[in-house]
Structure formats: structure tokens, C-alpha cells
Amino acid sequence: MSRSSEGDVKQIAANRKALHDYIIEATYEAGIALTGTEIKSVRLGRVNLRDGYVQVKGAEAWLMNVHISPYEFGNRENHEPKRDRRLLLHHQEIRKLQSKVAERGWTIVPLRMYLKAGRAKVEIALARGKRLYDKRDSVAERDMDRELQRAIKDWHQDG
């Protein structure tokens, strides 16, 4: 039986809403402490990161409000879908995140969940909320890029 390589990454869930609502400053990779039925549901892709956030309590980081559906073949020992889950980060990373959140008023949001070498990982981001005009600027910029790509494509087809 062969082990999966280190670069073997399977994306489970993504939080596209976070990219729309926040300006991402820095990203971190964190492991998650999961129960048996939770990891089985994660492997089936039954995860919703949309309303999730990370909270630092003491010397630990916790993933809050992330929905992992109950394992359909589980028994009465099945997990609570929205329970708080401990993130596995180094202490200096947790201290750095906590200081940025405290001094600048930023937040920590999960961007995506994936399996890396068979282990569940979460990419979390240090982010600050976009104002309404930032969101409008992002939409306008995306539309301009789309128009530019369309024009280049048309130009190449005509030429």
C-alpha cells in the first residue's frame, strides 16, 4: 500500500463569500481536531464554511460556526454539526493572530478546507472587512478585466 505524496491536496469546501466581504491580509494553514464521524463527513464534502470565523481563546484558536453535516451512517455518537473545533497552530502563530486582531480590529475567517496527505486542513486568513465602496470597486474591476479579456479574445480571432 503506498502513501499519498505531500503535494496531494483535495479541496473539500471554499468560502467564496469571504473573498467578496473581506480584504485578505495574510493566510495560514491550520490543522483541525475532528472526531471520527466529522472526518468521515469532511471526506464526503459535507462542509459549509460560509458563516465561519476563528476566535482565539487563551492560547488556543477555535473554528466557530462552521457546519459539518452529521455522518449519515453514524450512530447515536454522531457529532454536533456546528460545534466549536480546535485549530492546530503553533503558539507563536496564535499570538501573532491575536495581537493583529486586538490592535487593528481585524478578523480571522476560514477560506477553504482541504485534505492534505489524508489530514483535514483549513486555510484561514487575517482579514479586514470591505466597505461598500470597496465592494463596488471590486465588482467594477472584475467587470473591466472581463471586458478586456473579451476584447483580447475577439482581437485574436479577427487577426
- Give 8-48 pLDDT, tens digit per residue: 888 998 988 888 888 888 899 999 998 888 888 889 888 99
Instruction: List % helix, strand, coil for the chain (3-state, nearest 5).
Output: 35, 35, 30
Residue 7 has pLDDT above 70, yes or no: no
pLDDT band for 4, please (50, 70, 90 cuts).
Answer: very low
pLDDT band for 159, please (50, 70, 90 cuts).
Answer: low
Q: In angstroms, rounded to a whole number, what is the distance separating the alpha carbons of residues 41 and 68?
A: 7
Q: E-strand spans in 8-96?
A: 9-14, 22-32, 47-48, 53-57, 60-64, 67-68, 85-88
Domain boundaries, the chain: 9-130
pLDDT band for 115, please (50, 70, 90 cuts).
Answer: very high
Q: E-strand spans in the chain?
A: 9-14, 22-32, 47-48, 53-57, 60-64, 67-68, 85-88, 107-116, 119-129
For the whole model, what pTM was predicted? 0.73
- Give 50-68 pLDDT, tens digit per residue: 889 999 988 899 999 988 8
Q: In angstroms, rounded to a whole number, what is the distance separating the alpha carbons of residues 85 and 39?
A: 12
Q: In angstroms, rounded to a whole number, what is the distance separating the alpha carbons of residues 139 and 137?
A: 5
CATH number of 9-130: 2.40.280.10
